[in-house]
Amino acid sequence: MFHGIRDTLLQNTRFVETSANSSSQTPSSLTSISLSNYSETGMNVANKVRPSIVGIKVEYVANSIFLRNSTTASAEGSGIIISEDGYILTNNHIVNSTSNNSYYEIEKANKVSVYLYNDETEYQATIIGTDEQTDLAVIKIDKTGLTPAELGDSSKVQVGEFSMAVGNPLGLESSVTAGIISAVERKVTDSDGKTFTLIQTDAAINSGNSGGALVNAEGKVIGINTLKLSGTGIEGMGFAIPINSTKNIYEQLIQYNKVKRPYIGITGLDLDQKTAEYNKLVVGIYVKDVETFSAAEKAGIKIGDVIIAANGKNITTMKELDEIKNSHNIGDTIEIRLNRNGKEITVSVTLAEQP
């Protein structure tokens, strides 16, 4: 019996029943499906993509809060070559960690080393630009003749299709894991409360895979591996930033060293029904502060106003206001409706550039 199973596996074949009623099946009603194509796909994709994926090692300075001394901390991740002259796309949290705990404050990376596929040379990288909002960053090494990754179209990704994660998990360079696309447009909130719209895959993503590539059966990058869910009872839940959403970001990081975003210039407090009634206000966004010379100040928004709508859409949270704002460009004008001392007024805000 076991020899038969082994022989079947060696022949790279399996049998799929063509009817739900297995008791009535005969050998002639079974369809043989070859697995050799799957293996060939995996090998071809890995061979195509690995030269475009780099390992990244980062050193940070960690300052002791109590002892007034510092030590060196390190981390590892992955990156994707996006130009033959050395530009590399990765995650912001790899090269720009500003996290801290009860004992240390961690500064930005003071040394970023890059390791190319089949090359033991340690290349020093410069951080070109970082963007915390999208968790993306661009670094660069002084080398030409690199192999840029071929980028796919993440809007065409379908649930169930082949996926491969390529990266540097636990320092094991050029590792690949394969699986399928588990979901698209999955809303995931990180530990800092930021919500991302991501591609979900069951291809294994481990520490060090961040910044690496999620690719399709054509070897085209469809996402940037960014995080995984871990814990008791959780397995095979990895996430990637859709590649389409990264293009405008990394182009701006290369050109401006930052991402230019529209800006209103207020600090707001969300008012729910209970809080609004207690303070004799209306449900909406209470304007707690207005920045000097900001777009909000120029439009006439004042401290104590309650924002209740933007561009004709009723809103109650800063998140909703940000979504409307971020759907526009710098220089665009949006209409904001306010409740001021019980009266509603509408102001026009010309969006400025975020400082």
pLDDT, tens digit, 9 for 90 and up, residues 28-48: 444 555 556 778 888 999 999
Does 77 have pLDDT greater than 70? yes
pLDDT attached to residue 115: 94
Residues 112 and 79 in one domain: yes
CA-based nearest residue to 218, from 50, 53, 83, 48: 48
Catalytic residues: 93, 135, 210
Residues 206 and 129 in one domain: no
Q: Domain end: 203, 236, 256, which one?
A: 256
- Average model confidence (pLDDT) across the chain: 84
Q: What is the pLDDT of residues 46-60, one digit of tens each?
A: 999 999 999 999 988
Q: What is the radius of gyration, based on Cα positions, of the chain?
A: 26
Classify 256 as helix, strand or coil: helix
Q: Are 294 and 266 in contact (CB under 8 A)?
A: yes
Mean pLDDT along residues 61-75: 70
Structure tokens at 298: 């120029």
Mean pLDDT along residues 89-94: 92
Q: Are 215 and 163 in contact (CB under 8 A)?
A: yes
pLDDT attached to residue 38: 78
What is the tally of structural domains in the chain?
4
Q: Domain end: 223, 256, 289, which one?
A: 256
Q: What is the pLDDT of residues 144-175, one digit of tens each?
A: 999 999 999 999 999 999 999 999 876 677 78
Task: Name the residue range of residue 18's domain.
Answer: 2-34
Look at residue 126 and tell me if it is in a domain. Answer: yes
Compute the distance between CA of residue 210 and CA of residue 213 in angstroms, rounded to an integer.
8
pLDDT attached to residue 1: 40
**pLDDT-based confidence at residue 179 (cuts at 50, 70, 90):** very high
